[in-house]
Amino acid sequence: MITSIRGFNDILPPETTLWQHIEGAAREVFKVYGFSEIRVPVMEKTELFAKGIGDTTDIVEKEMYTFSDRNNESVTLRPEGTASVVRAYIEHRLCNMPCAKLYYIGPMFRYERPQKGRYRQFHQIGAEVLGISDPMSDAETLDMLLAFFKKIGLDDIELQLNSLGCKNCRPVYREKLKQFLSEKKEQLCDNCQRRIDTNPLRVIDCKSRKCVEVTDDAPSILDYICNECKTHFEEVKGYLYLFGAGYSINPRMVRGLDYYTRTTFEITSDKLGSQNAVAAGGRYDGLVRELGGPDVSGFGFAIGMERLAMLLKEGSGSTSHEAGIFIVCIGKEAETEGIRILKELRERSLRAEIGYHDKGIKGQMKMADKLGARFTLILGDDEISKREITFKDMKTGVQEKVDIEGIAERVIDEIAQVKKV
Ligand SMILES: [Zn+2]
Ligand SMILES: [Zn+2]
């Protein structure tokens, strides 16, 4: 047996129904906020991610699927979506648009240790706003994200907000934090002891209990951000109020990358444990220029589809099939009639299937049951000669003979009744 690659997961029916539901909701919500879909390749030149994510990050150092193609060019399966979207934005001069509001849905790849709900091929829904630095745009995009979660029925989530300052004020905070951490170096976890010099901000984000305790009274970035950053943050909060979006402030939430600026956020759920973010993002005003484009702002987020699907499955179990119809046919004449009815039902967008005659009537009824059909239509010689059809409700077991003419109408009525309940 040939199995799938470790960490590369099949998503099977009926779970795919849930995934379609999530993707459909995203498309619907994002559209009314003026976003358009962009489809970027799953593979890019390695240098894009080295530059766009940062070559000292864990992702680029340890987790990328990087290899040489047959022409000896170094290529990488995308570990995230933002770098590709920004690359496309620059390459196709989308900066000529007044403001680019783009979203993407698709697989990403990271060589991590597979765990429950975490795979090497995983999926994200993400959105980016390029060319706008106005704090109203931060709030509007966050409001869209919350509207999406509301649409799919995930309610016990929290928006956590922070500001990371800018290239003027963050270095001051970084030094202050480094000083604080150096004095307590011995008490930190091994990973963080190493990070004090290279990436001190990540230390206060560390989930290890030791580090959480030690950094409890670490200086807060919000006490060090400059006046411009302070104003931006206050305005984001003001606009969130106008959009009716609730939030809490979390000064410990950081990103390790230099081009992240000002607003940063996570959407968390208690049900997810310590790795509790189901979506995250923020402002990245330096990235477009870093990748060779104009000096314009960026703001974006990504939603983890696997985690989201996990949360929704726990909540509702809403992965069942749509109510369907199964047509059982015995004999050639019955098949002719059966196919005619089948086509009519399908043309009216009802889920309808037909039995294959080599299975016999028993086999066909079994199949109807296994497929979870709500109603079964049975056509045999007896029915054909009387121009009738046996109509069976699979839930109640009740069956009756009805006129073959107008059967499609009858089925549509019954299905509509079922859907109402
Ligand atoms: Zn600043
Ligand atoms: Zn640590």
pLDDT, position 317: 46
Distance 401 CA to ligand 1 centre (A): 77
Provide mean pLDDT across the span 396-407: 92
Domain that holds residue 341: 325-420
Which of these, 266, 404, 241, lies nearest to 337 by C-alpha position? 404
pLDDT, position 318: 46
Residue 76 within any structural domain of the chain: yes
Provide mean pLDDT across the span 394-420: 89
Q: How many whole angstroms separate alpha carbon 322 and alpha carbon 320? A: 7
Asked if residue 352 and residue 270 are part of one domain, the reply reads: no
Percent of the chain with pLDDT over 70: 97
Residue 181 within any structural domain of the chain: no
Asked if residue 376 and residue 274 are part of one domain, the reply reads: no
> What pLDDT, in 10s, does the model give residues 269-297?
887 776 678 999 999 998 999 999 999 99
Asked if residue 295 and residue 273 are part of one domain, the reply reads: yes
Taking the CA of 263 as reference, the closest ligand is 1
Helix, strand, or coil here: 121? Answer: strand
Q: What DSSP line would sit under 173-211, residue for residue?
A: HHHHHHHHHHHTGGGS-HHHHHHHHH-HHHHTT--SHHH
Q: Is a pLDDT exceeding 80 seen at residue 365?
A: yes
Distance 168 CA to ligand 1 centre (A): 5
| CATH code of the domain containing 253 | 3.30.930.10
pLDDT, position 315: 62
Asked if residue 253 and residue 281 are part of one domain, the reply reads: yes
Distance 112 CA to ligand 2 centre (A): 19
Asked if residue 359 and residue 308 are part of one domain, the reply reads: no
Provide mean pLDDT across the span 194-210: 87
- Give the count of beta carbons closer than 10 Å to the beta carbon of residue 133: 16
Asked if residue 259 and residue 343 are part of one domain, the reply reads: no
Asked if residue 151 and residue 58 are part of one domain, the reply reads: yes
Beta strands in 305-412 (DSSP E): 325-329, 352-354, 375-379, 388-393, 399-403
Helix, strand, or coil here: 12? Answer: coil
Residue 195 within any structural domain of the chain: no
Taking the CA of 167 as reference, the closest ligand is 1
Residue 248 within any structural domain of the chain: yes
pLDDT category at 321 given cuts 50, 70, 90 is: low
Structural tokens at position 341: 């009815």
Distance 80 CA to ligand 1 centre (A): 27
**Number of structural domains, the chain?**
2
Q: Which of 285, 315, 345 is the last residue of a domain?
A: 315
Q: Is a pLDDT exceeding 90 seen at residue 208?
A: no
Distance 218 CA to ligand 1 centre (A): 19
pLDDT, position 309: 93
Tokens 């979390």 sit at which residue? 250
Q: How many whole angstroms separate alpha carbon 295 and alpha carbon 288? A: 6
Whether the bond between 13 and the residue before it is cis, its omega within 30 degrees of 0, is no
Taking the CA of 211 as reference, the closest ligand is 2
pLDDT, position 55: 78
> What pLDDT, in 10s, does the model give residues 247-263?
999 998 887 677 789 99
Residue 208 within any structural domain of the chain: no
Residue 262 within any structural domain of the chain: yes
Which of these, 378, 137, 151, 122, lies nearest to 281 by C-alpha position? 137
Q: Which of 295, 315, 335 is the last residue of a domain?
A: 315
| CATH code of the domain containing 330 | 3.40.50.800
Asked if residue 241 and residue 128 are part of one domain, the reply reads: yes
- Contact (CB, 8 A) for 124 and 303: yes
Longest dimension (CA), the chain: 93
Q: Is a pLDDT exceeding 70 seen at residue 316?
A: no
Taking the CA of 195 as reference, the closest ligand is 2
Please tell me whether the overall predicted TM-score, pTM, comes out greater than 0.75 for this model: yes
Residue 103 within any structural domain of the chain: yes
pLDDT, position 156: 87
pLDDT, position 319: 43
pLDDT category at 161 given cuts 50, 70, 90 is: very high
Distance set, CA 150 to CA 22, 118, 155, 245 (Å): 11, 24, 6, 11
Pseudo-torsion of CA 266, 270, 271, 273, nearest 10°? 80
Give the CA count within 13 Å in the CB-facing half-sphere of 343: 5
- Give the count of beta carbons closer than 10 Å to the beta carbon of residue 323: 19
Asked if residue 339 and residue 288 are part of one domain, the reply reads: no
Q: How many whole angstroms separate alpha carbon 384 and alpha carbon 333? A: 7
pLDDT, position 155: 83
Provide mean pLDDT across the span 14-30: 95
Structural tokens at position 145: 């994200």
- Contact (CB, 8 A) for 163 and 233: yes
Asked if residue 302 and residue 156 are part of one domain, the reply reads: yes
- Contact (CB, 8 A) for 371 and 356: no
Structural tokens at position 159: 């928006």
Asked if residue 354 and residue 277 are part of one domain, the reply reads: no
Asked if residue 280 and residue 134 are part of one domain, the reply reads: yes
